[in-house]
Amino acid sequence: MIGLGLVLALACSTVPPQEDRSQFVAISEAVPDVILEIRYFSTYNFVGDRIDGYLAPKAYLTKEAADSLRAVSEDVIGLGYRLKIYDAYRPQKAVDHFVRWAADIPDVRMKPYFYPDLDKSVLFDQMYIMEKSGHTRGSTVDLTLFDMNTEKELDMGGTFDWFGPESHPDFCGNPDTGEYDAEAAAANPRGLTELQFRNRLILRRAMLRHGFKPLSSEWWHFTLNNEPFPDTYFTFPVD
């Protein structure tokens, strides 16, 4: 199934569906207040190299997702924050790069920074790496909050792309009720403080208010509820 917007765009085009970028916009144009730190254009990511398909430090989303993200931005600016984007649309070429890297078991250059508690051989089985990503459909974004008062990222108690339970939204608490679990935090050497847990909730609640849904394993990852291309995995580069 191809989204209606893409069908209409292709009516006047010979571009294959997965290569058509006409329904996408640059986040920095749609949401001028965002800060970009595109990790896969840099070498500071779990692979340790620039990722295939990232030819520029830019971020794209479908028009619908970008519109909703602009509403989130306006919301959090009123609270003293700005959105900081790590990744958004991700070309299939990048996902293929992750898969090749995960199969190269000896390459553990970035293990101390992103997966110190895991043997690299389990990344497929535990679904940290998969052959398809929701990012490739164009309506998923990885982000955090930047505190305008401290001029630093808000302390979320963990880094983007950390492979482990510490990244789960329900780590040390219930994100739906907002209840912090002090006992669970005390029992884990990387347990969140109550402030860190509540900082994650600020981002989560703002995203949910404006039509995004969370992922159960990553506090930074959100997908538009009514994504326009739920079955199309795009291939055009980030350039």
Question: 2 to each of 5, 10, 16, 223, how far by Cα in Å?
Answer: 8, 11, 11, 18
218 as an active site residue: the answer is yes
Residue 12: alpha-carbon gap to chain centroid: 32
How many Å apart are CA 141 and CA 135, to the nearest integer? 7
198 phi-psi bin (left φ>0, alpha ψ -120 to 50, beta other): alpha
Whole-angstrom Cα distance, residue 70 to residue 163?
29
Catalytic residue among 37, 64, 218, 227: 218
Annotated catalytic sites, by residue?
Answer: 218
